[in-house]
Amino acid sequence: MTGPVFVHCRHGADRTGTACAVYRIAVEGWSKAEAIEEMTKGGFDFHGIYKNLVDYIEELDMDKISSLQPQQ
């Protein structure tokens, strides 16, 4: 990606943050820890009751997800 991306969901702060964290890891090469830190403490209104989303990211098979990217 060569420019900024705007992602908005009025009541999906946690779901949207999770999708963005997965993108950061799979496409941009961030570590899971870095992406989770941004998702939970980056000012995006993460709700702590959704700890399962952090667990979801920690348990993802990123090699499998990354292999699904189209080859350029």
DSSP 13-42: HHHHHHHHHHHHHHTT---HHHHHHHHHHS
**What was the pLDDT predicted at 69?**
64
CB 62 within 8 Å of CB 33 = no
Q: And the tokens for 11?
A: 């009541």
Indicate whether 34 pLDDT > 90: yes
Which contiguous run of DSSP H or E holds residue 5? none
Q: How far is Cα 39 from Cα 16, in angstroms, rounded to an integer?
A: 9
Q: Which residue has the higher pLDDT, 33 or 9?
A: 33
**pTM, rounded to two decimals:** 0.79
Task: Name the pLDDT band for 53 (thresholds 50, 70, 90).
Answer: very high
* 58 contacts: CB under 8 Å, gap ≥ 6: 32, 36
State the pLDDT at residue 70: 67
Over residues 45-54, the mean pLDDT reads 90
Mean pLDDT of 9-25: 83
